[in-house]
Amino acid sequence: MSLGQLPAGAEVEAPDPAPRPPPRRGRSARAREDRRIGYLLISPTVVIVFAMVVLPILWTFSLAFQHVRLLNLRQTGIIGDFNLDNFEAVLTSPGFVDALITTLVYSVAGTTCAIGLGLVAALALRKPFRGRGLVRACMLVPYVAPVVAATFVWSTMLNPQFGVVNHYGTTLLGWDEPIAFLSSGQPISPFGFDLHVSMSLVTVVLFEGWRSFPFAFLFLTARMQAIPESLEEAAVVDGATPTQRFRYIVLPQLLPTIAVLTVLRFIWTFNNFDDIYLLTGGGSGTQVVAVRVYDYLINRGDIGAAAAQALVLAAILAVLVTVYLKLFGRSEEVA
């Protein structure tokens, strides 16, 4: 669970508190006191979020337009010699477009895997049985487990020399040789199609699906519980088969939830750094922009270029989310 992610139990849409009636005249002293206490109580949060989140974001803009390197950091002021060099260098540098495409493929495929698997899990665990509560709780374990431990155990399991997956793959499934899941930059070509996607990228996408499906599972399960049983009972009476009931009754009810999940998961996967950094370090065709920003910041010590890339990342994300909301926002309200 990265810092940015909502608690599993929180509702997706922020319910706006119901508008209060305007305070009556006799209560104006109380209203004034409320206002004063309100500012008092909220101020610590405002101060810390402003100082540690809002100002830094603004400062990123400033850094992106200056030549700032780790080495000359101590001499750099807030106001410096602003120019567009970083953006020009970053946008034209080799590998940037590739990283962007990799990020897109990773986010779209990872989101699809997570929501797809979450939907399957929610459907499979829909009917009650003994121990279902425990099984449901187990489904959430990949999501709450520390990302470092999860990536470490998977990279050990996928290890070509002594990993358990390759052991059973070669002995039971008849693989010709162990697969280097996390270090193979070779494009995979199932049935002769060249997908321009490396084995490692497929692995990190599947890992993302594994790690994030519990989130989708949780929300879809909650939504399914809110579907009135009478709807489906009526459909059974009318002779609808299980798949028909899913297609015409359950799925339409889930679509708004799936739409919200798509936005949330896409944003978080798009911004994801931890998983790929820990699994492959950004090697063998898995370098997403977030990992590239880290590389510029730490390994090359080029703070200006790192800031410029992070801003480009955020801008592209903002555009994509806006387009998505424009396209699907309306129909969601209807659905």
Partner 1 sequence: MTTFNRDAVERRVLGTLRPLIIGFLLLITLFPFYYMVLLSFRPLESVLQDPGALWPKPGEIDFGTYRDVLASQSDGGQGFLNFIKNSFIVAIGTVVLSLLVAIPGAYAVSRLEFFGRRQIGAVFLGVYFFPSILLAIPLFVFFTRIHQRGTLTGLLVVYVAQVAAVSIYMLRNYFDTIPASLEEAAAIDGCTRLQAMRHVSLPLAMPAIASNALFVFMIAWNEFLFALLFLVEKRDNWTVSLGLSQLAGSIEVPTTVLMAGSVILTLPIIVLFFLSERWLAGGLTAGAEKG
Q: Which of residues 63-122 bind partner 1 (CB under 8 A)?
A: 63, 68, 73-74, 120-121
Give the DSSP H/E element, type plus range, for residue 302: none
Asked whether 202 and 188 are in contact (CB, 8 A), the reply is yes
- Which of 91, 175, 239, 254 is the binder for partner 1 (CB under 8 A)? 239
Asked whether 183 and 285 are in contact (CB, 8 A), the reply is no
Q: Taking the complex as a whole, how short is the minimal distance between the CB of residue 123 and partner 1, in angstroms?
A: 8
- Which of 92, 225, 230, 299 is the binder for partner 1 (CB under 8 A)? 225
Tokens of 297: 């910041």
Task: Show the site string, 240-259: x = touches partner 1 by CB under 8 A, - = not.
Answer: -xxx----------------
Length of the chain equals 335
The string of DSSP codes covering 116-169 is HHHHHHHHHT-S--TTHHHHHHHHTHHHHS-HHHHHHHHHHHT-TTT-HHHHHH
Q: Taking the complex as a whole, how short is the minimal distance between the CB of residue 196 and partner 1, in angstroms?
A: 25
Report, in angstroms and rounded to the nearest whole number, the Rg of the chain calculated over CA atoms: 25
- Which of 84, 145, 195, 231 is the binder for partner 1 (CB under 8 A)? 145
Residues 175-204 that bind partner 1 (CB under 8 A): none
Adjacent-strand bridge partners of 302: 69
Q: Taking the complex as a whole, how short is the minimal distance between the CB of residue 83 and partner 1, in angstroms?
A: 18
Residue from 92, 45, 18, 139 nearest 305 by CA: 92
Residue from 216, 217, 182, 177 nearest 198 by CA: 182
- Report the residue number, 298 or 335, with the smaller CB distance to partner 1: 298
Task: Show the site string, 261-300: x = touches partner 1 by CB under 8 A, - = not.
Answer: ------x--xx-xx---x-----------x--xx--xx--
- Is there binding between residue 142 and partner 1 (CB under 8 A)? yes
- Report the residue number, 68 or 199, with the smaller CB distance to partner 1: 68
The rounded Cα 189 to chain-centroid distance in angstroms is: 27
- Which of 113, 179, 205, 218 is the binder for partner 1 (CB under 8 A)? 218
Task: Show the site string, 301-320: x = touches partner 1 by CB under 8 A, - = not.
Answer: --x--xx--xx-xx--x---
